[in-house]
Amino acid sequence: MPHTSNPSDPTPPSERPVAIVAGATSGMGLAIALDLATTHDVVAVGRTAASVEALRLAGITAVAVDLTDDGARAALAASVDRVDVVVHCAAVGQGLSIDEATPEVWRSYLELNVIAPADLTRLLLAPLRRARGTVIFIGSGASTKAVPGSAVYTASKHALRGFADVLRIDEAPHGIRVATVAPGQTDTPMLQRSIAAAGAAYEPERYITVESVARAVRFVVDASPDVHLTDVAVRPRTELR
């Protein structure tokens, strides 16, 4: 992957750490990729070539990868030889009643929300171990509590949180830090679709901004080497139902 230049960063190109941001083309992932690009060479992963074009213009190495494709994940992992940070942002989520949760729906949610980040992490373990790197999973309030009318999404986020907790224990001997950053309601296209489907009013001023989530991720990435930040909950200033 080529070096991402940033004139404001005095760090020599050969010494800049490398961050992979999966699901980087909109919402939280886009904000996180742009923030990390000030100090890291960022590989921003989106689903289609069209969706990553704007990131290329921002000086970020952008790649189109279907994260639910086993071979595509393997090719992405094989294309990098240094990885200091991985941020898993790609997800699907909307309110679905239990009677709407067909096996096909379950498979589609688990493929993107759980299997893809778990397997991409597995494929990147070697360079992460060499770097004593950091893996960040973007969770949700649904990672720890039940969300009425959203059984599939809630189950997938619980599963992702469980994977992160085990990964943290298993990779401790290799020095890898693992964190779950769990935002509450955040002003993203996903939330807009969810609220529209529920027929409710969208009130962006009440929600977390994507930039605030990016700052929380930065807090974890920049943690001093003596600490391990494991769970960061990011809630709206005024709690919402």
Q: Which residues are catalytic?
A: 153
| Among 3, 60, 15, 56, CA closest to 36 | 60
Beta-carbon count within 10 A of 71 CB: 8
CA gap 25, 30 in Å, rounded: 5
CA gap 208, 210 in Å, rounded: 7
Q: Could you tell me how far CA 216 lies from the centroid of its own chain?
A: 12
Query: Do residues 137 and 21 lie in contact, with contact meaning Cβ atoms separated by under 8 Å?
Result: no
CA gap 44, 87 in Å, rounded: 10
CA gap 218, 213 in Å, rounded: 9
